Amino acid sequence: MRKRTKLATAMVTALVAATMLVPVSTAAAIDEINTKKLRDAVTTAGILGHERVLQRIANQNGGTRASGTPGYAASAQYVKTTLKNAGYLVSEQKFTFPFFRELEPSLVEQVSPTPKVYPSTTFTYSGSGDVTGTVVVAGGTVVPPTAGPGLTTSGCAASDFTPASATEPQIALVQRGTCNFEIKANNAQAAGYDAVVIFNEGQTGRTELLAGTLGNPETIPVTGLSYEDGAALYTATQTGKVTLHVATSTEANLEAVTSNIIANTPKGDKNKVIVVGGHLDSVVAGPGMNDNGSGTAAILETAVQMSELKIVPRQQVRFAFWGAEELGLLGSHHYVDTLSDQNLAKIYANLNFDMLGSPNYVRFVYDGDGSDTTLAGPPGSAQIEQIFTSYFASQNLASAPTEFSGRSDYGPFIAEGIPAGGLFSGAEGLKTPEQAAIYGGTAGVAYDVCYHLACDTVNNLSTKALGEMGDAVADSVLTLAKTKSGFFEDGSRMARQAISIDQFDNVGGLWVR
C-alpha cells in the first residue's frame, strides 16, 4: 500500500478509530449466497503456502519484490503459472513506468540555531541532492492545525511560496494536507527552492513520521518529518533564522518495465465482470509479505479453490494482480486507462484487498456509503460494504469503517464510477485503546510496525488476521460472482431507487458528501 496518490487530492488518509459490531441488515439488494464450502477451502495454511513462495522469491532477489526488479518478475511468473494450472485464462499486461529506489537514507538536520538530527524519510521520486539552506515556511501552514484532517492548504498554491533567493540556498517547509505531495513539491521548485521538507498535518492519526510519493520524478530533494518535528521547526522560524541540512541519494529509471497479471474465469457472464484485485509488488526496502503478499496470497488461494471446487460463477470473475502500486497505483491506472469504452462498461464491481495480515490488526471495511466518513464510493459501493459487514457480524466478529482515501488500487475504478469495496487490516496508523479493547493487540502501537520495512517478512504476519480476512475475501468474491439480483432494487447495476448521486460531489474522482 502506498502513502498517497493523485486521486487523494483534498482527501484525508484516516484510519477510523470508532469500531463497532455491525448488525446484519435485511435491506441489502445482494442475494445471500452460501459460501461455506469455499470459505472452508480457503485456509490459513493455503494462504501461507503462497506467502512462503513469495518470501523465498524475495530471499533469492535481494530481499525485495518491487516492480522493476527480478523479484517482481519471479513473483509474477509464480502467480501466472499457478493460475494457468488452475484452469484460468491468464494474460500478462506489460507497461513502462518510472522506477525509483533510495540509495542512502535521507538526512535532515538543523544546523542552527540548535544543532539537531531529525528522523526523516525520502519521498518516492525525490531527486538526489545535498543542500544546506535557510528554512522558509510555505503559506497556508497552520500550527497547530485548526481545520479537519486533509484541509490544511499549505503549499497547494503557487502563491504560497515567495520567490526563493537567487544567491542563497533555501529550503521550503510545507505541511501535509488538501493537495497531493507532487503539487506542493512542484510549486516549491517552480519558486526556486533547493529542497522541500514536508511534515505531517497534526490531527489525530496524522502525527507520525511522514512518508509519501510524488507520483513523478523530481530534481530536488523532498523529505518527510513527523508533525512534532515539523511544528518545532515552524516555531523556531517564527523567532529567527533557521538553517537546515537536507540530503538524499536516489535512483530513477523512467522506462522500467513491469506488468499486471490478469486471470479470467472460463465461464460467467462476460458482460458483468467482477474485478478482484490487489497489488503484487512490494516496496524496494523489503519483501512485502503483509504489504501486499497477504492480499496477493488470499486472492490467489481463493481463485485456486474456486477452480478446485468447480464453482461456475454467474458473473465472470477477473483476478488481477497489479504492478507498481507502490509507485502510484500505476498498474491499476494502466489497466483502467487502456480499457475500451465497451469493456469499461462491462466492469460490474471492483474488490480490493491490500494488507490483510497486519500483526496488530483491525478488521477495516471500506466505507462504501460514506455514512461513517466524509467519502462514499460510487452507487453500489454501499451494498459491497454491507457484504463484508454482514459477513463479519454473522461470525460474531467486529468490523470498523475506513474511508476511500485514494491510497490503494480501488482508486482508478471509483474514479470511473465503478462500485468498489474491500478490506484492510491497518498500516502505519496507531491502534486506539478502543480498538485494542475490541480486537485485542496493543494500543498506541502501529497496526503493522514493519510497514514498508525489511522486517515485513512471513514472520510479521498475524495468522489469525489472515484466517478471518481470508474467509471474508472468499465470501465476498463468491457472493458477487453468484448474485442474481444485482446491487439495486430493480436488479440492475444502474440505480433507480438507490442513493442519489446528487447527494455527493466528485472531488478528484472520489464521491464526497
- Please give the Cα distance from 82 to 84 (Å, whole number): 6
- Reduced to 3 states, what is the DSSP secondary structure of residue 283? coil
State the sign of the Cα–Cα–Cα–Cα dihedral 213, 364, 426, 351: negative
Q: Do 316 and 360 form a contact (C-beta atoms < 8 A)?
A: no
Where are any strands of DSSP class E within 113-242? 116-118, 121-122, 129-137, 170-175, 195-199, 222-225
Long-range CB contacts (within 8 A, 24+) of 451-455 = 451/290, 451/291, 451/427, 452/211, 452/283, 452/285, 452/286, 452/291, 452/428, 453/285, 453/286, 454/63, 454/285, 454/286, 454/287, 455/286
Joined grid coordinates for residue 329: 497505483
* Closest among 154, 156, 190 to 173, alpha carbons compared: 154
Spatial contact of 409 and 324, defined as CB atoms under 8 Å apart: no
- Gap between the Cα atoms of 411 and 353, Å rounded: 12
Three-state SS at 197: strand
CA distance from start to end of the chain: 25
d(CA 113, CA 244): 10
State how far the Cα of 471 lies from the Cα of 444, in Å rounded to an integer. Answer: 28
**Catalytic residue of the set 325, 326, 428, 468:** 325
Is 208 part of the annotated catalytic residue set?
no
Strands (E), 334-399: 347-353, 364-366, 375-376
Query: Where are the alpha helices (H) located in 346-490, listed in sequence order?
Result: 381-394, 411-415, 433-439, 463-482
- DSSP letter at 193 equals -
Whole-number Å distance between alpha carbons of 195 and 203 = 25
- For residue 210, the number of C-alpha atoms closer than 13 Å in the C-beta half-sphere is 31
Query: Are the C-beta atoms of residues 304 and 82 closer than 8 Å to each other?
Result: yes
Q: Peptide bond before 144: cis, by omega within 30 degrees of 0?
A: yes
Which residues, 6 or more positions from 96, have their beta carbon under 8 angstroms from its beta carbon? 254, 255, 256, 257
Task: Evaluate whether 187 touches 161 at the Cβ level (below 8 Å).
Answer: yes
Q: Which residues are catalytic?
A: 325
